Structure 1
């Protein structure tokens, strides 16, 4: 304790920032020297769990805890030293009954203009959830993460105005997205990273001149969305929910692309590959017995994947003898060095695809030999016998004359 007290008072707020704000205030009671250290905290963390247990079902206990939580947060914000705040974290849970807690701040409390805002709100109610407009008008904010979990119906946020001149990173989770996305793209002049997770997309376009990384994870989609981002370098789209499809436009800077879709649920157009001709690293994770048909139609429009160096195909629901899709990529990718095939057993209810006579005749057009490939990696179900692996390698040699390294792994 004596050693801790000997630390310079200037660094104490930084140490206390590793605690919740409630714990930091309580710690400052231990010494008169520390009494006002909490007013200089660079990171504020307000969590409803510090005041009431989520397992408690008594409404009065919840209301009492919510009231203490809200008053404590307002008291800290009102009395802190008006210095620049680095990070503001807010976690709350709204029960089914009418909660009195509000994220709106009264007039007596000045919004601290943080550099990072992390808001996480869980709720059991289906009514709309409002966020204060000042969140979307912070001139210093660089990172904004909004997470609405356990939502019965996903909320829609339509702030009156957006002014985030320093925003670089935005994460949105469990939100219905319409005009908010394009407003963020158009009114955030330095936005570089956008992550959309478990959202409902009601948008026709994602267009940004500055965006470098875009992740769309497990989102549903009501209409075709066009992605137009000339500076985009990384694209990750993964969803096993119903989607209307994506169309890539003006993505000439794209280097890394990862596409994972369930084409049984995806009834939209898969016009992606023809727009990925510049990528250096491509990963495809595709479920559904018809994905090869859709891809072959799309890949036929690609003259060449002129920069492609690594290719990974996962969830490969095909016969071990059917390498037409792999052959198409080999034929269109002159710089390809590493090929990874992650093989899965067909999902229950998915018909096994058989090679028709027409496909066998068409295969003759695909039979060619590539001189060399550095690495071929195959990940297969453990229950499949190794003789299947040997047959697959034999069939790959139809298209690859020499392979530097074989890698076999079990999943």
Structure 2
């Protein structure tokens, strides 16, 4: 590579393909680039990997100056063949960079005997007033290494986003002062039994909180008290030891709008207490093999009661059929007065499922109904229909979407029932994967055209793309009947 006084050096090889798309086919010579303002050139550097951005410093004096102010520093040990090279590169990059504010600092590495070194790097990012901090620190649970995050993280007034992935116990100092923290993600971290970590879950500006596969077997009550929290995500997979099955999750933020929960909801007294401000809820519930279905049904029923004010609900609950004989639950089933969109991601979904019928009857304002994993009618009764017909089918239900349709007899029966009972229906979307297009395109269209419709305004739209665009909100109709 040529010396720093040569302003004509070709920088094309160091410009990312993403930036090339932005500037089109224009000349990419170093001279052309150097005519751009510093702000734009720093954005160019931000598109590059940290290694390439540092290399740009040899192009000229101006590039050397700009490279000292790289907006983002991203270090990943997996990009290096040797540990020593990774350590030396991080040390060199941090010593080369000036003290101007950092947009983002990301560090992914193994913690062996480098605790003090890692903490020095994090401290260097904090001193540069970092806004986004992403730490993926691999420490084995039974490792002799006892790693503790540096206290400076919890006193960083400029921090806006903090992502911590660490297979290790998580210790929070007595003083937490993160006035501008808006997004917090904790993944695989272990919570102690002193509940000190709850100080982090109560930051005054926190708007989005994600707890993914966090561990805390001793936790009885988890209080989430961020006053301005808008979105909460909790993910617990069975293969990873998660929170105590007796744990009660209490959400105190009065402004929260969105809840995403995925995991087991059985065993002990595991509950989630939700404020009435929720607008959207995405619930995926599994229960352990040893769990009695009725016990899990009781907890899911209680959760549904807490969610009765939501406007948009997505539900995956493999035990929905198990509720069919629970008359005690149906007698006190909540009314979803605000619910306008219901998405059921259950395979298979039975239209004749009593629990589903009760839920529909208790949703008087429902406008959109989505069956994301298909829909069948399997009553075995000739001429079976919804009885009584849910109120929403008569007054508000405008749209029904059925995905992963294969047009067998049970599915066609379900469509027939929907069309002849939904009196104000305007659109019925049916998604068949591209592999069925040739087989279905003629016969299915003809068959659906013959079905009686209670609504003379109802149009049937067919989608044969591989992905179900109807569920993603990017529907591009293939056929209209």
Corresponding position of 2:53: 24
Corresponding position of 1:387: 409
Q: What are the superposed Cα offsets for residues 347-367 of structure 1, whole Å, 9 maximum, x if unpaired?
A: xxxxxxx99xxxx9xx99963
Give, in whole Å, the separation in 2 of the partners of 1:254 and 1:107.
Answer: 36
Corresponding position of 1:311: 342
CA contact (8 A) 1:316 1:341 kept: no
Structure with more helix by fraction:
2
Give, in whole Å, the separation in 1 of the partners of 2:174 and 2:320.
Answer: 46
Matches for 1:152-191 after TM superposition, within 5 Å: 154-177=168-191, 179=195, 181-186=197-202, 188-191=203-206
Corresponding position of 2:283: 259
CA contact (8 A) 2:72 2:104 kept: yes
Structure with more strand by fraction:
1
Offset at residue 237 of structure 1 (A): 0.4
- Which stretch of the first structure deviates more once superposed, 163-172 or 35-44? 35-44
CA contact (8 A) 1:368 1:398 kept: no
Give, in whole Å, the separation in 1 of the partners of 2:185 and 2:151.
Answer: 17
SS of 1:279 mapped into structure 2: coil
Q: What are the superposed Cα offsets for residues 351-386 of structure 1, whole Å, 9 maximum, x if unpaired?
A: xxx99xxxx9xx99963453142122223463xx53
Matches for 1:314-329 after TM superposition, within 5 Å: 314-317=345-348, 320=350, 322-329=352-359
Corresponding position of 1:200: 215
Corresponding position of 1:349: none
Matches for 1:293-372 after TM superposition, within 5 Å: 300-317=331-348, 320=350, 322-343=352-373, 367-370=388-391, 371-372=394-395
Give, in whole Å, the separation in 1 of the partners of 2:115 and 2:356.
Answer: 59
Pick closer, same or farther for the CA change 1:295–1:211 going to 2, 3 Å.
Answer: farther
Offset at residue 401 of structure 1 (A): 4.8
Pick closer, same or farther for the CA change 1:14–1:106 going to 2, 3 Å.
Answer: closer
SS of 2:355 mapped into structure 1: helix
Offset at residue 300 of structure 1 (A): 4.7
Give, in whole Å, the separation in 1 of the partners of 2:45 and 2:419.
Answer: 62
Pick closer, same or farther for the CA change 1:116–1:397 going to 2, 3 Å.
Answer: same
SS of 1:22 mapped into structure 2: helix
Pick closer, same or farther for the CA change 1:106–1:294 going to 2, 3 Å.
Answer: farther
Q: What are the superposed Cα offsets for residues 59-115 of structure 1, whole Å, 9 maximum, x if unpaired?
A: xx43x2354145325424xxx433322222222134xx6557732118995722211
Offset at residue 142 of structure 1 (A): 1.1
Offset at residue 274 of structure 1 (A): 0.7
What's the C-alpha RMSD, in Å, of the aligned pairs? Answer: 3.6
SS of 2:62 mapped into structure 1: coil
Q: Does 1:71 align with 2:71?
A: no
The higher relative CO (CA closer than 8 Å, separation ≥ 6) is in 1
Give, in whole Å, the separation in 1 of the partners of 2:385 and 2:263.
Answer: 35
Corresponding position of 1:212: 230
CA contact (8 A) 1:181 1:206 kept: no
Pick closer, same or farther for the CA change 1:217–1:6 going to 2, 3 Å.
Answer: same
Give, in whole Å, the separation in 1 of the partners of 2:101 and 2:353.
Answer: 59
Corresponding position of 2:33: 4
The counterpart of 1:284, out of the listed 295, 303, 315, is 315
CA contact (8 A) 2:351 2:357 kept: no
CA contact (8 A) 1:182 1:206 kept: yes
Q: Does 1:247 align with 2:272?
A: yes
SS of 1:189 mapped into structure 2: coil
Pick closer, same or farther for the CA change 1:106–1:15 going to 2, 3 Å.
Answer: closer
Corresponding position of 2:142: 126
Q: How many residues align?
A: 375
Offset at residue 133 of structure 1 (A): 1.4
Pick closer, same or farther for the CA change 1:369–1:135 going to 2, 3 Å.
Answer: closer
SS of 2:117 mapped into structure 1: coil
Give, in whole Å, the separation in 1 of the partners of 2:135 and 2:281.
Answer: 29
Pick closer, same or farther for the CA change 1:330–1:49 going to 2, 3 Å.
Answer: closer
Pick closer, same or farther for the CA change 1:205–1:101 going to 2, 3 Å.
Answer: closer
TM score, norm. by length of structure 2: 0.68
SS of 1:102 mapped into structure 2: helix
Structure 1: runs of 5+ lacking an equivalent: 54-60, 347-353
Give, in whole Å, the separation in 2 of the partners of 1:115 and 1:27.
Answer: 24
